[in-house]
Amino acid sequence: MKPRRAPGEEPRPAPLTVGLVHNLPLARSTVDPDAAARTRPDLVAALVAEPTTRVLLVRHGHVATRDGALDLRSPAEVTGATWDPEHLAYLGRDDDAAYVSLTLPETLGDERDLDGVPVQEDAALVGFVEGLTFAHLRDVGDALPDRDAGLATTAVALSAWHARHPRCPRCGEVTEVIDAGWVRRCTADRSLHYPRTDPAVIMAVTDAADRILLGHAAHWPAGRFSTLAGYVEPGESVETAVRREVAEEAGIDVGEVQFRASQPWPFPASLMLGFRARVADGAPVEVRVDGVELTEARFFTREELAAAVRDGEVLLPMRSSIALALIEEWFGGPLPR
């Protein structure tokens, strides 16, 4: 039985145990990736012809949703789709179905005749899409069921990669999609190119008094505070990246670094590696923001952060982010919203 708290008493910090930060919103999946099947040359065509296959639609980085879940359709229900391999990806299968993602053309519905009607090849698909609801994964990722969260995260990541890598980085020629959407092959030199993931560190930094360091990024709305974060640079370890980013952005020297959890963040291609970090013993805790990435940063006690959130002075990160999970792990439970 959990000990009860007195009325108004703030949550006590949770002890750090392996796996305490778990089941992160965009790190959930119940679908078998079935990677070995991707090299079958007829796989996508066979899946599109199978009535039990379910199609996840992606448009401008958003996913089709309905009633709090993905709006998955059979291929026959996706009226007007041409099933171009350039826009398809095999996401895997479970006991219920095989799943593919279809990225809708960026210009869908933009080409119209003199009467304002979509051109013939787009008309049926435009009419179908207009009846759908598309949501950003940042906004709905935490609310989706486990299966759907995994499918959507993979689909959005692959869609972003394909959109940004239409040509060979070696020779500049056009690439073609193979292996069910998981590889692009240069049509000139035949080199193979795979989806990339950029590792980034994100850290809940605490001082000797167990206060947490939160910062406000220059491009955020007023009052938004979150944990510090940054990309891992070539030649450095993730621990080094944590210490470098905190020193660069806030002027704080970090000592102990402990990995907590990770989750993909496909905006467009990050893997967020979450850490707890402690200010180095004897190091000053005077915050000095860089003024470029961060315009403000400060340490909060639990009582100060809870009051600031309740009063609307501080806006917390979105529920789909690992940042909020790290903050609430330090806080000892959910913060007031």
- Tens digit of pLDDT at every position of the chain (337 positions): 344 444 444 455 444 444 455 689 999 999 999 999 999 999 999 999 999 999 999 999 999 999 999 999 999 999 999 899 999 999 999 999 999 999 998 877 666 667 666 555 567 888 899 899 999 999 999 999 999 999 999 999 999 999 999 999 999 999 999 999 999 999 999 999 999 999 999 999 999 999 999 999 999 999 999 999 999 999 999 999 999 999 999 999 999 999 999 999 999 999 999 999 999 999 999 999 999 999 999 999 999 999 999 999 999 999 999 999 999 999 999 998 7
The reply to whether 160 and 204 lie within a common domain is no
Q: Which domain holds residue 67?
A: 35-193
The reply to whether 99 and 222 lie within a common domain is no
CA dihedral 138, 142, 147, 152 (to 10 degrees): 0
The reply to whether 52 and 182 lie within a common domain is yes
Tokens for 208?
Answer: 């000797």
- Mind listing the pLDDT tens digit for each residue in 231-243? 999 999 999 999 9
Give the chain's mean pLDDT.
91
Residue for token digits 């069921």?
A: 145
User: What is the number of structural domains in the chain?
Assistant: 2
The reply to whether 39 and 188 lie within a common domain is yes
Contact 267, 196 (CB under 8 A): no
The reply to whether 207 and 164 lie within a common domain is no
- Helix, strand, coil shares of the chain, percent, nearest 5, are 25, 30, 45
- Mind listing the pLDDT tens digit for each residue in 139-157? 999 999 999 999 999 999 9
Whether 29 maps to a domain, the answer reads no
Domain boundary among 159, 193, 227: 193
The reply to whether 188 and 46 lie within a common domain is yes
- Mind listing the pLDDT tens digit for each residue in 155-198? 999 999 999 999 999 999 999 999 999 999 999 999 999 999 99
Helix (H) or strand (E) holding 54: strand 54-59
Residue among 216, 102, 98, 82 at smallest CA distance from 156: 102
> How far is the C-alpha of 38 from the C-alpha of 53, rounded, in Å?
15
**Phi/psi at 44 (nearest 5 deg)?**
-65, -45
CA distance readout (Å), 181 to 92, 170, 228, 251, 300: 12, 20, 34, 43, 46
Whether 13 maps to a domain, the answer reads no
| Res 188: pLDDT | 98
The reply to whether 242 and 99 lie within a common domain is no
Whether 20 maps to a domain, the answer reads no
The reply to whether 217 and 117 lie within a common domain is no
Domain boundary among 143, 166, 193: 193
CATH number of the domain that 78 lies in?
3.90.79.20
The single-letter code of the amino acid at 100 is V
Domain boundary among 193, 215, 238: 193
Whether 60 maps to a domain, the answer reads yes
